[in-house]
Structure 1
Amino acid sequence: MFAEYSAAELTSIFAMQGFAGLILFSVFVLMALGLAIIFGQMGVINMAHGEFMILGAYVTYLTSNVFANYLPGIYEAYFFVAMIIAFFVTGALGAFVEWAMIRHLYKRPLDTLLATWGLSLIMQQLYRTIFGAREVGVVLPDWLMGSYQVTDMIEVPINGIFVMILTIVISTGVWLMMQKSRLGKQTRAVVQNRPMAAAVGIDTGRVDRLTFALGCGIAGIAGSAFTMVGSTGPTSGQLYIVDTFLVVVFGGATSLLGTIASAFTISQAQSTMEFFLSGSMAKVLTLLTVVIILMLRPEGLFSLKIRR
C-alpha cells in the first residue's frame, strides 16, 4: 500500500490528509458538542440533530443571499451575522420541539428515538419543498478564498483554517459556560443527581429546555461552518449523524473532553484511511475499531461519575 510512494510523497500525503482530518474533526466537534450536551443530560437520542445542522446551513445560505443582493458593501462580514442568526433560529426551534414533543417522552428512549427520527423526515421534506432537491452553496468572501502554501507539495485552504479556529472558539465558550455560568452549574447538577437538584430548587424542566435549545443552537453554528467546506442539501445532515453519534458514545456521553478527543481520533483515522482505501472500507475499519474498544471500555474514553 505504501511501497509505490516515496518517503517525501508519504510525508506530504499524511500532512494533507491530516489537515483534511482536522477540518472533518471541526465539523464533528461542533455537531457532537450539541449532541453530547443533550444526550449526556437528558438521555435523549435526537435523530433530527443533523437536520438542525442543515437548518443552520440554510439560514447561512439565505443570509448570504440577502447580503449579496441588498448589502454587497459589507458582504465580507455576512458569515458572522449568519452564524448568530443560525444559533438563535435553531435554538428557538429546539426549545419549541422540547416543549411540544420531547418533554412528554422522557424515560421512554425508544419513543424519543422514533419521534425524533420522524421529525428528521419531516424537516427533510420541508427543506426539499422550500429549497428544492438540489444542493445549494454560498459564495465565500474574498478573505476566505485561496490556500496557504506550507511547502512545495503541501497547501491548506484558508476556509479550513477558519473553520478550525471557529471550532476552538466555540468549544472554549461551551466549556466556560458549562463550568462557570449559572446554567452550566445547574446542568451539571441535574446530570449528576436530578432528584437532589430539584430538591434544592433547580427547575429541572427549564434546564432541560434550555439545554436542548443550546444543543440545537450549537448544531446551527455547525451548519454555518459546514457551508464553508461543503454544499447543502435536504439530506446532508444524515451523512454526519451516524459519525456524530459514534463520536459521542466513543468519547463518553457526559464528557466534553471525551467528545473532542473522540472526534479527533475518528476524523484522523477516517481521513487517512480514505486516501489509501475506499471511503466505505475506511468507515468499516473505523467502526470495527471503535466497537472493539467499547467492548473493553463501555463507558467510553472519558466518563463522569454520576450519582444514581
Structure 2
Amino acid sequence: MLSGYSFNDLASIFVMQSFAGLILFSVFLLMALGLAIVFGQMGVINMAHGEFMILGAYTTYVCSYIFAQWMPALFGLYFFIAVILAFIVAGTVGMFLEWSLIRFLYKRPLDTLLATWGVSLILQQIFRSTFGAREVGVTLPDWMMGSWNLSETIQIPINGMIVIAITLLITIVIYGLLYKSGWGKQVRAVMQNRTMAGDVGINTERVDRFTFGLGCGVAGVAGAAFTMIGSTSPTAGQQYIVDTFLVVAFGGTESLGGTIASAFSISQARSILEFFLSGSMAQVLVLLTVIGILMLRPQGLFALKVRR
C-alpha cells in the first residue's frame, strides 16, 4: 500500500489527508454534537437528524441565491449570515417537531425511532418537491476560494480552515451552555431525574423543547458547513446519519469529550485510508474496528461513571 512513495511524498500525503480529515471531522462533530444532545441528554433516537443537516444546507443554498441575485455587493459575507439562519431555521423546525410529536413519545425509544424515520421521509419529499431531486451546490465568494500554500507539495484549502474555525466556535459555545450555564444545569438535572427536577421548579417541558431545538440547530450548522465540501440533495443526510450514530456510540452517548475524540479518530482514519484504498473499503475497515472496540467496551470510550 505504501510502496512507490518516498518519505517526503508520504509526509505530504499524510498532512494533506489529515487536513481533509479535519474537514470531515468538522461535519461529523457538528452532526454528532447535535445528536449527542438529543440522544445522550434526552434519550431520543432521532432518525431525521440527517434531514435537519440538509435543511441547514438548503437554507445556505437559498441564502447564496438571494445574495447573488439581489445583494451582490454583500455576497462575500453571505456564508456567515447563512450559518446563523441555518441554525435558526433548523432549531425552530426542531422545536416544532418536539412540541407536535416527540414530547408524546419520551421513554418509548422504539416509537421515537419509527416516528422520526417517518419524519425523515416526509422532509426528504418536501426537499424533493421544493428543490428538485438533483444535487445543488452553493457559489462561494472569491475570498473563500483557493488555498494556503504550506509548502511546494502541501496546500490547505481556505474554505476548509473556515469550516474548522466555525466548528471550534460552536464546540466552545455548546460546552459553555451545557457545563457553565444555569440552563445547562437544568438540562443535566432533567436528564438525571426528571421527576425531581420538576419538583424543584424546573420547567422540564421547556428544557426538553429548547434542548431538542439546540440539537437540531447544530445539525443545521453542520449542513451549512457541508455545502462547502459537497453538493446537497434531498437524501444526502442519510449518508451521514449512520456515521453520526457511530461517532456518538463510540465516544459515549453522554460525553462531550468522547464525542470529539470519536469524531476525530474516525474521520482521520477514513480520510487517510481513502487515499490508499477505495472509499467503501476504508469505511468498512473503520466500521469493523469500531465494532471490535465496542464489543470490548460497549459503553463507549468516555462513558460517564454513574452509581448503580
What is the TM-score when the length of structure 2 is the normalising length? Answer: 0.98
Q: State whether residues 34 and 216 of structure 1, in contact with CA within 8 Å, keep that contact through their aligned partners in structure 2.
A: yes
Matching residue of 1:150: 150
Aligned equivalents of 1:221, 1:246: Cα separation in 2: 20
Q: Which residue of 1 aligns with 2:174?
A: 174
Compute the displacement of 1:9 (Å).
1.0
1:304 to partner: Cα distance: 2.0
Per the alignment, residue 213 of structure 1 pairs with 213
Distance 1:307 1:95, change over 3 A: farther
2:20 maps to a residue whose letter is A
**Of 193-202 and 239-248, the range deviating more from structure 2:** 193-202
Shift of 1:260: 0.5
Q: Which moved more, 1:187-196 or 1:149-158?
A: 187-196
Determine the structure 2 residue equivalent to 1:93.
Answer: 93
Which residue number in structure 1 is paired with residue 119 of structure 2? 119
Q: How do 1:1-308 and structure 2 match up within 5 A? A: 1-306=1-306
Kindly provide the CA deviation profile for residues 92-151 of structure 1, in whole angstroms up to 9, marking residues without a partner as x. Answer: 100110111111111111111011111111111111110001111111011111001111
Mark the runs of 5 or more structure 2 residues left unpaired by the alignment. none
Distance 1:302 1:193 in 2: 21
Q: Give the 4+ runs in structure 1 shifted more than 3 A.
A: 305-308
8 Å CA contact retained: 1:193, 1:307: no
- Matched residue type, 1:16: M
Task: Tell me if the contact between 1:192 and 1:305 (Cα under 8 Å) persists in the aligned partners.
Answer: no
Checking the alignment, whether the CA contact within 8 Å between 1:197 and 1:204 is kept in structure 2 is yes
Cα distance in 2, alignment partners of residues 33 and 7 from structure 1: 37
**Alpha-carbon separation, structure 1, partners of 2:148 and 2:140:** 16
For residues 11 and 169 of structure 2, what CA distance do their matches in structure 1 show? 29
| 1:203-237 CA distance string (max 9 Å, x none) | 21211111000000011111111111111111111
Range that drifts further, 157-166 or 104-113: 104-113
CA displacement 1:254-297 (0-9 Å, x = unmatched): 11111000000000011111111111111111111111111111
Q: How many angstroms apart in 2 are the aligned matches of 1:307 and 1:99?
A: 32
Give the conservation status (yes or no) of the 8 Å contact 1:43–1:109: yes
Task: For residues 169-220 of structure 1, give each alpha carbon's deviation from its aligned partner in whole angstroms, at most 9, with x where no partner exists.
Answer: 1100110111222221101112222222222111212111110000000111
- 2: distance between equivalents of 1:181 and 1:113? 30
The residue matched to 2:227 in structure 1 has which SS?
helix
Q: Is the 8 A contact 1:147 1:157 kept in 2?
A: yes
What secondary structure, in the 3-state scheme, does the structure 1 residue paired with 2:156 have?
strand
Moved more, 182-191 or 39-48: 182-191
- State the TM-score, normalized to the length of structure 1: 0.98
Specify the SS of the correspondent of 1:148: strand
Deviation at 1:307, TM superposition (A): 6.0
Checking the alignment, whether the CA contact within 8 Å between 1:135 and 1:232 is kept in structure 2 is yes
Aligned mates of 1:120, 1:185 — CA distance in 2: 31
Contact 1:192 1:307 in 2 (8 A): no
- Give the letter aligned to residue 91 of structure 2: G
Say what the alpha-carbon RMSD is for the aligned residues. 1.1
Comparing 75-84 with 165-174, greater Cα deviation is found at 75-84
Moved more, 208-217 or 175-184: 175-184
Letter in 1 for 2:150: V
- Calculate percent identity across the aligned residue pairs: 67
Matched AA of 2:129: T
State the secondary structure of the residue aligned to 2:228: helix
